[in-house]
Amino acid sequence: MFSERIDRLTSSLVRDILSATQQPGMISFAGGLPAPDELPTPDWSGIPASAAQYGPSEGEPALREAIAEDARNVGIECDASQVLVVSGSQQGIDLVSKLFIDPGTPIITEAPTYLAALQSFELFGAVCHGVPLGTDGIDASRLREVAQDTGARLTYVIPTFQNPSGTCYSAETRAAVAEAADDLGLTLFEDDPYRELVYNNVDRTPICSHIKSAPWIYQSSFSKSFMPGIRVGYLIASPDLMPHLVRLKQATDLHTNRFGQWLAHGHLTSPGLADRLAHLRQAYSAKRDAMDAALTEHFNDLAEWTTPPGGLFFWLRLRTPIDTRELLPAMLERGVAFMPGEVFFPATAPSLGYMRLNFSHASQEQMHSGLAILAEAVRATPAA
């Protein structure tokens, strides 16, 4: 009755976790949600009446201009004709999957990588080959080897405050990955939703700004720095890819909600933007530091981690490699939600003994009580 791809829809686990986090009293380290206190009040005043009508598939021209200008400021050579507004960057992943993936298509991802991207790629039938993430990103020579061995034509990376690991690629690695993509003609798909959530002074230059000849897609979102509820993100692509992406967007939902696009435009062009972002960084870096201290108290003997220089997550490598998925039901029962790390690895590169912990949502007291419960369960679990 259904399409053959339905059998490839995975992970009821994540839906279970996210629905559990809605329960009152739950301490959630699971999602990647902005802190409720940091969500701005929507300002509807600048929205033209024409927003009530159908609009262009590419997005509101004024928003596309503002996005292109912002991207040029971070080094991406582009104009507004290369910008496609999408209904959250999750839709960008869907459109890119549709453009590049048939059943059996090999592609390259980081290992670990963003779970919902893996799910989308695999839904369309991709075989995802993971390149291990090191402390300053993936090794470009390993990327070259995997591309050559597998024949992959697309690589998906999150170089800045990666989800789930928080890793930020060094300047050298960014340049080396771009050079590998150019040499191999490998399409680079760079996902960059966390770039504004920066707490330490690190290089955040998009890899796409280093590309000379390979096809590329850079995408970002208003979800983490503004509001996820508006479901507005964007992608910027090399001109050869744009006509295909626009047609796919049109076939998917005609265009992104125009009211949300105007709210995003108001945010991006607001004279108060720099102050708002500075406040957000200050608030989240304080939360990051509180979580770091709580982790040191409860997990010092149990795990290793690097303090993330930006983004929303700590990535714990447990000293004893247990399958953290097995801890989850008991933890949800005790009112603590977290993301087991195993689900972020492509099937070709499985790995045990990791946890992703979000620090933007829980209060300081919840961090301590939640981590104490989690640490007790880890300590009581024998190695897999």
Ligand X SMILES: Cc1ncc(COP(=O)(O)O)c(C=O)c1O
Query: Can you tell me which residue has the tokens 């919902």?
Result: 116
Q: Which residue is nearest to ligand X (CB)?
A: 88
Nearest approach, Cβ of residue 311 and ligand X (Å): 9
Give DSSP secondary structure letters for 188-249. EEEE-TTTT-B-S------GGGG-SSS-EEEEEESTTTT-GGG--EEEEE-TTTHHHHHHHH
Quick one: 55 or 166, whose CB is closer to ligand X? 166
Question: Which distant-in-sequence residues (6+ apart) come within 8 Å of 256 by Cβ?
Answer: 59, 85, 86, 87, 91, 231, 232
Quick one: 262 or 299, whose CB is closer to ligand X? 262
Nearest approach, Cβ of residue 237 and ligand X (Å): 16
Quick one: 14 or 372, whose CB is closer to ligand X? 14
Residues interacting with ligand X, by CB under 6 A?
A: 32, 88-90, 114, 158, 163, 191, 193, 221, 223, 228, 233
Quick one: 162 or 298, whose CB is closer to ligand X? 162
Quick one: 210 or 224, whose CB is closer to ligand X? 224
Tokens for 136, please give them.
Answer: 């300053």
Nearest approach, Cβ of residue 191 and ligand X (Å): 5
User: Cα(first)–Cα(last) distance of the chain, in Å?
Assistant: 39
Quick one: 226 or 305, whose CB is closer to ligand X? 226
Q: Which of 150, 156, 157 is nearest to 127 (CA)?
A: 150
Give DSSP secondary structure letters for 78-138. --GGGEEEESSHHHHHHHHHHHH--TT-EEEEEES--HHHHHHHHHTT-EEEEEEEETTEE
Nearest approach, Cβ of residue 382 and ligand X (Å): 32
User: How far is Cα 223 from Cα 248, in angstroms, rounded to an integer?
Assistant: 22
Nearest approach, Cβ of residue 298 and ligand X (Å): 25
Quick one: 210 or 356, whose CB is closer to ligand X? 356
Q: Which of 205, 190, 168 is nearest to 72 (CA)?
A: 205
Nearest approach, Cβ of residue 233 and ligand X (Å): 4
Please say whether the beta carbons of 57 and 246 come within 8 A: yes
Nearest approach, Cβ of residue 106 and ligand X (Å): 21
